[in-house]
Amino acid sequence: MTETERSAERFSPRVRALPSTIPFVGPEALERRLGRPFKARLGANESVFGPSPKAVSAMADAAALSWAYGDAEQLDLRQAISQKLGLTPDHIVAGEGIDGLLRDLVQAAMEPGDMAVTSLGAYPTFNYHVTAHGGALDFVPYGEDFRQDWPALVARAKVVRPKILYLTNPDNPTGSWHDAKAVEAVLRDVPEETLIVLDEAYADFAPAEALPETTRLAPNLLRFRTFSKAYGMAGVRVGFVFGEPDAIAQFGKVRNHFGLSRMAQAGALAALSDDDHLRKTVEKVAAGRKALAELARAKGLVPLASGTNFVAIDLGRDGTYARAVLDAVLRRGVFIRMPGAAPLDRMIRVSVGTPADIALFAEALDGALEEVNADQPHLPTGNAS
């Protein structure tokens, strides 16, 4: 037996058959590939405005106690979150960001071969976990308005009866949102045996009409939120799920009970106490979205309305053109991203940064458009919407 054959016996055939990929290529990997650091980091929807000083101080204090594991029951943090939401700690579980909690959800809810329904081009980490667990993905295209087509998703769920229906609200990568009435329609019409996942990572930036009351729960509804965006703690990895206690209890059977460090729990707890910092961050993001939208329009491009901390910009052509513009911006030292599936792949997506960051992006975009339009003037064009 060869070493390759021996290796094949050590790992699951299902896992060995998967491609060696990750949902995203990180900015550090791109910097290594390009051979230099980025001047502005506007691709991962992080908050360059940072965490609350209270959170930084609390994490520094907790660092000295890092010889000890964090509270496996996350009690103080869950109590603080529940008070914010008008719920009880039994309605909440925290974990290593929404990504880690999606992994736990898939493990708890799906058997190999089970189906999940999502939008083609939506947040890819959910797909990554479903595929790794041996689940099957069923996709519904985005609508012509670049929004998730919730009626079509519900209709598809009625046909295939999936274990999970995955929705993002507000949406990544487009920034669009549906209102609370649309959420109620989903809850009314989706089969009761299907778990409805509402990924609300950008809830703190969303228009008020986009979100149902936090007390709006159902046996088959799970709502995911995070400290990575408005709270500026992407590098700390804290997210949480809230739902009916019986559904939340299932996470405790599969989660990494010591996955949240003492520093992470202390930082998130302190962040929750600093409403002023959160408010100022949301205001800065709103101003940055406006600046990015005005910049795009000045260049003849179409910014999509956004309820997040980024702006998706329709370049008005096709994916080949958008990829060329993206690459040219990256070479000019500004990290941005673009959606990977048509028709969304005619866009670039730019996170809100400081005014200085946005100025660097404007300069890089000018040069990129000039370069690509000169090199590829006859690329197919589309109708900017």
Dihedral over alpha carbons 256, 261, 266, 272 (to 10 degrees) = -40
CATH number of the domain that 307 lies in? 3.90.1150.10
Q: What is residue 3's predicted lDDT score, i.e. its pLDDT?
A: 75
Q: What is residue 230's predicted lDDT score, i.e. its pLDDT?
A: 98
Same domain, 302 and 181: no
Same domain, 267 and 317: no
Same domain, 258 and 322: no
CATH number of the domain that 90 lies in? 3.40.640.10
Q: Examine residue 15 and state whether it is found in any structural domain, yes or no.
A: no
- The pair of structure tokens assigned to 193 is 């045996």
Residue of 300, 269, 289, 201 whose CA lies nearest to 241: 201
Give the pTM.
0.94
Same domain, 327 and 353: yes
Could you give the 3-state DSSP secondary structure of residue 381?
strand
Domain end residue (candidates: 249, 273, 297) = 273
Q: Are 353 and 288 in contact (CB under 8 A)?
A: yes
Q: What is residue 382's predicted lDDT score, i.e. its pLDDT?
A: 41
Q: Examine residue 8 and state whether it is found in any structural domain, yes or no.
A: no
Same domain, 220 and 325: no
Q: What is residue 384's predicted lDDT score, i.e. its pLDDT?
A: 41
Q: Examine residue 382 and state whether it is found in any structural domain, yes or no.
A: no
pLDDT in tens, 118-139: 999 999 999 999 999 999 999 9
Same domain, 242 and 259: yes
Q: How far apart are CA 134 and CA 351, in angstroms?
A: 33
Q: Examine residue 17 and state whether it is found in any structural domain, yes or no.
A: no
Q: Examine residue 12 and state whether it is found in any structural domain, yes or no.
A: no
Q: Examine residue 227 and state whether it is found in any structural domain, yes or no.
A: yes
Q: Give pLDDT tens digits along the chain (385 positions).
A: 687 677 677 888 888 888 877 788 899 999 999 999 999 999 999 999 999 999 999 999 999 999 999 999 999 999 999 999 999 999 999 999 999 999 999 999 999 999 999 999 999 999 999 999 999 999 999 998 999 999 999 999 999 999 999 999 999 999 999 999 999 999 999 999 999 999 999 999 999 999 999 999 999 999 999 999 999 999 999 999 999 999 999 999 999 999 999 999 999 999 999 999 999 999 999 999 999 999 999 999 999 999 999 999 999 999 999 999 999 999 999 999 999 999 999 999 999 999 999 999 999 999 999 999 997 665 544 444 3
Same domain, 220 and 100: yes
Same domain, 72 and 153: yes
Q: How far apart are CA 112 and CA 234, in angstroms?
A: 31
Same domain, 28 and 125: no
Could you give the 3-state DSSP secondary structure of residue 377?
coil
Same domain, 234 and 117: yes
Indicate the residue type of 259: G
Same domain, 37 and 133: no
Q: Examine residue 234 and state whether it is found in any structural domain, yes or no.
A: yes
Domain end residue (candidates: 273, 294, 324) = 273
Domain enclosing residue 303, as ranges: 22-49+276-375
Same domain, 253 and 204: yes
Q: Are 133 and 12 in contact (CB under 8 A)?
A: no
Q: Examine residue 10 and state whether it is found in any structural domain, yes or no.
A: no
Specify the number of domains making up the chain: 2
Q: What is residue 377's predicted lDDT score, i.e. its pLDDT?
A: 62
